[in-house]
Amino acid sequence: MKKLWITVAVVTLLEVIVMAEGFQLNFQTSPRGWIFRRGDEFGPGVQGNFKVIKFEGDAVGCLTGDFTKGGVYVAVYKHLPPRVNLKTMTITLKAQGLHAAKIQITDSTGHTFQHKFSISRPDEWNEIKLNSPQFPEFWGGAKDGKWHGPVKTIGLILDKGGLANGIKDAKLFIRSITIEE
């Protein structure tokens, strides 16, 4: 029994770096469990993928989208441990071909909140800070616009509205996501 508990503890530690009052997802320690979506519900999906790559010396998540043949978005999601509450979030990312992206978080009721954020310096590492999980766009779950923690899933989205002028393909490099409780 002790051996099984230690194994579970080590796997959990490798998935999420636990901090004093929150945790950090990064691709050095938590590369598994990310789910890629092409937005097929809106017709022909965007060509793209998600993979963990070496970029500027770090393991980062790389979300790519090629909109030349149509489609609306590509996204990557991760289910989080049930104990994670959310007060603030910081996403460290870099972009190619984007001026904006979106984040989605789903609460314990299945209520999904979505927020579009600007990427002010696409060719540099940006720290996007979000101070509340209650974003202006929401659906599903409790349908009341109020956050009901803890966090169930987190997602990052590239959509055609966030593409820089004249660009048809884009990349989002995600170094880490830090959630403070």
Give pLDDT tens digits for 115-171: 999 999 988 999 999 887 778 899 999 989 998 988 899 999 999 999 999 899 999
Q: Which two tokens stand for residue 180?
A: 């403070």
Predicted TM-score (pTM) of this structure: 0.84
What pLDDT, on the 0 to 100 scale, is given for residue 26?
81
Residue-wise pLDDT for 9-41, tens only, equals: 333 333 444 444 567 888 887 678 999 999 988
Residue 2 has pLDDT above 60, yes or no: no
Residue-wise pLDDT for 73-130, tens only, equals: 999 999 988 777 888 899 999 999 999 999 999 999 999 999 999 999 988 999 999 8
- Give dist(CA 45, CA 71) in Å, integer: 5
What pLDDT, on the 0 to 100 scale, is given for residue 132?
73
Domains identified in the chain and CATH numbers: 2-180 (2.60.120.260)
